Amino acid sequence: MSIDLPPVKFYLPKPAIIRKAESDLAMLPGIIPVNVGNALILDWIGQLGSTTNGLTIIAFGNLTFPNDALAIVAFFGLGTNSQTCSSISIGGTNGALHAANGSASTRKWGLASRLVTAGSIAISATLSGSNGSAASLSVGVWALRRAVSNTPVASAGIDSGSGTTRTINHNQSSPGIAVYGAFNGESTGGSGSFSTAQAVHYAAQDGNGRRFTYASSKNVPTQTPHSETFTISASDNASLVGGSWR
């Protein structure tokens, strides 16, 4: 006896629906949080300066951060008294000081960072004593978002009273960013140039004819170490500081 069976039907699985993670960071089992394809965002916030003599605490003023971010501050100072950079305050609290002139010098510098919320943020620097006269003081400020870590991959700084080049070596990790600040004490106010930095955000003289320059690079490759050089046109006081994040 034959039995009539219903026709065979084939069912194809529905296409998978892929949704973006609710957060920029996704947790994989047994693995630390990883960035899920959102590139680091580095914004130049601005520069503040002062030529006031005799300061130990330099209150530069406020800058506006449009978003919650890691604030990164590069500081430079020149004055007749030899001092060290003791701290850099960001929003009323000392930031993590990643690099600073550890030996007393008429050339003071530092690099610091701190997480801040969007709004008006006060920036100041504290020296170990009075900066003295013939003062030139400046900060350059960036905002970094979507970083894997708030701690820099590496940082470094250097200063000297003579020569036309300043070079620092620090590690970089891809994909990441690097920020740089430079002080040029030439009386002619020569602009100076970086060897690898991709974008110059600010380069101007202050009232004493000294120049501060701030620059950065994005999507930096892994290098151990990366070398950055700042070159000026005549031998004079100059400083360079930089660091990288990912």
Please give the radius of gyration of the chain, using alpha carbons only, rounded to the nearest integer.
24
Rounded Cα gap, residues 161 and 116, in angstroms: 35
pLDDT, residue 41, reads 97
82 SS3 class: strand
More confident residue, 233 or 230: 230
Percent pLDDT > 90 in the chain is: 79
The answer to whether residue 3 scores a pLDDT higher than 90 is: no
11 confidence band (pLDDT: 50, 70, 90): very low
More confident residue, 28 or 168: 168
Residue 182 per-residue DSSP state? E
77 confidence band (pLDDT: 50, 70, 90): very high
What sections of 17-119 are H helices per DSSP? Answer: none
Element (DSSP H or E) covering residue 216: strand 211-220
What is the CA 144 to chain-centroid distance, rounded? Answer: 8
Q: How many secondary structure helices (H) and strands (E) does the chain include?
A: 0, 19
pLDDT, residue 22, reads 36
Q: Is 0.95 topped by the overall pTM?
A: no
Give me the count of residues in the chain: 246
Residue 11 per-residue DSSP state? -
Rounded Cα gap, residues 236 and 96, in angstroms: 30
Q: Mean of the per-residue pLDDT values for the chain?
A: 88
The answer to whether residue 169 scores a pLDDT higher than 80 is: yes
Element (DSSP H or E) covering residue 148: none
Element (DSSP H or E) covering residue 202: strand 199-205
The answer to whether residue 190 scores a pLDDT higher than 70 is: no
156 confidence band (pLDDT: 50, 70, 90): very high
The answer to whether residue 4 scores a pLDDT higher than 90 is: no
Mean pLDDT over residues 15-36, rounded? 40
Rounded Cα gap, residues 82 and 92, in angstroms: 26
The answer to whether residue 29 scores a pLDDT higher than 50 is: no
27 confidence band (pLDDT: 50, 70, 90): very low
Rounded Cα gap, residues 77 and 42, in angstroms: 25
